[in-house]
Amino acid sequence: MKQKVIVYNKVDPTVIEYLEKTCEVQYFEYNDQLLNNPLFLKALSEAHAILGSRLKVDSSFLDLAPKLKIVSNISVGYDNFDIVEITNRGIMATNTPTVLNDTVADTIFALMLATARRVPEMVQNVRNGKWIKSNIDEEWFGVDIHHKTLGIIGLGGIGSALAKRAHFGFDMNILYHNRSRNEEAERLYNASYCSMEELLQNSDFVCVMVPLSKHTEKLIGRREFSLMKNSGILINASRGKVIDEEALIEAIQQNEILGAGLDVFSQEPVATDNPLLSMDNVVALPHIGSATKETRLKMQLLAAENVVEGLMRGTPKNLINHELILNNR
């Protein structure tokens, strides 16, 4: 009998075809009322695997899925997983790292350039007929990126891809703060390890690339903004809640920092009355870090491969809770 898999994100048809070679697949379109759908709840009660990226997988969810063997996120992040609870029940948890590194790094650089050179603001000025003379005034000037200092908080796969672009493409000086030294980045990109305080004080651009956890929530707050240069620009493409959003608003309003480029917010979709959206020196994107057709397909296929490997062999290559699972078995 085939193992039963629930897919609750819209995926490419090739992903479903791949899963159906070995599994029985049921698809549900994600919405906020999915857990109130009787058909979904019935399927969940019999499911051996779920594949998607939004559902909060905690004890109450797992109580509804007694046969579950693996949860597969179509994302490098997994803050929607209660890893301890999942592991205590002997369930495998997987994600999709590496395949999105370059695409997210591209997005981050787009944010850096757009914020530093005030691209959205200048586009609006042109469209609104404010460009009325050939030589623009200094009030429209931006700031350079090349030969500046980029501070990366969290130098993992995406951070390393960002450092590569900054070093080779823009001759930037790279500072980084991490839980452990990244000797490869130090060797390849001349990155310098330093304390959080040193990074904040000396960086022209501060890029936050840490996963969301109880240890990183509001990692950057009032104290951190006070340490940044007045000419500093904050870039966040990780998770919105790693930034204290009220402190960020205050720092920009009080000119403690020059501006911010944000792909993520504490509430998503972001509220239309969020003060950050009315600030000319803030560039806001709708969490599009990995959102290209090519990369999303790679992520979906990798998530599906994790499911098949987990169900068929018990050893998916992107197992998040590897050591904990081994201890429980």
Tokens of 313: 């062999």
Query: b/e per residue, 248-278, with b = 16+ CB within 10 A?
Result: bbebbeeebbbbbbbbbbbeeebeeebebee
Exposed/middle/buried for residue 80 (C-beta within 10 Å: 0-12, 13-18, 19+)? middle
Q: Exactly one of 17, 29, 246, 268 is catalytic; which is it?
A: 268
Show the low-confidence residues of the chain (pLDDT under 50): none
Q: Are strands 149-153 and 49-52 parallel, antiparallel or unpaired?
A: unpaired
> How high is the pLDDT of residue 50?
98
Tell me phi and psi for residue 251, to 5 degrees. Answer: -65, -40
> How high is the pLDDT of residue 105?
98
Catalytic status, residue 239: yes
CA-wise closest residue to 172 among 246, 118, 235, 244: 235
Domains held by the chain: number? 2
Catalytic status, residue 322: no
Catalytic status, residue 224: no
> Are 41 and 143 members of one domain?
no
> Are 312 and 260 members of one domain?
no
> Are 54 and 131 members of one domain?
no
Say which residues have a Cβ less than 8 Å from residue 320's Cβ, sequence separation at least 6: 78, 81, 83, 93, 94, 95
> Are 93 and 31 members of one domain?
yes
- 3-state class of 209 per DSSP? coil
Of 267, 284, 301, the residue that ends a domain is 284
> Are 120 and 263 members of one domain?
yes
> Are 245 and 321 members of one domain?
no
> How high is the pLDDT of residue 62?
98
Please report where in the chains the tokens 């290559």 appear, as a residue. 317
> Are 40 and 128 members of one domain?
no
Q: Exactly one of 48, 165, 239, 296 is catalytic; which is it?
A: 239
Residue 19 to residue 25: CA distance in whole angstroms: 7
Please report where in the chains the tokens 């995926």 appear, as a residue. 11
Residue 207 β-bridge partners: 152, 235
**Domain boundaries, position 69:** 3-98+293-328
> Are 91 and 108 members of one domain?
no
> Are 181 and 63 members of one domain?
no
Residue 164 β-bridge partners: none
Residue 326 to residue 321: CA distance in whole angstroms: 9
Q: Exactly one of 54, 89, 222, 287 is catalytic; which is it?
A: 287
Residue 199 to residue 197: CA distance in whole angstroms: 5
> Are 119 and 243 members of one domain?
yes
> Are 177 and 320 members of one domain?
no
Give the DSSP per-residue string, 21-67. TTEEEEE----TTGGG-HHHHHHHHH-SEEEES-S-BSHHHHTT-TT
Identify the CATH number of the domain in which residue 181 sits.
3.40.50.720
pTM recorded for the entire structure: 0.91
> Are 114 and 254 members of one domain?
yes
Residue at 286: amino acid letter: P
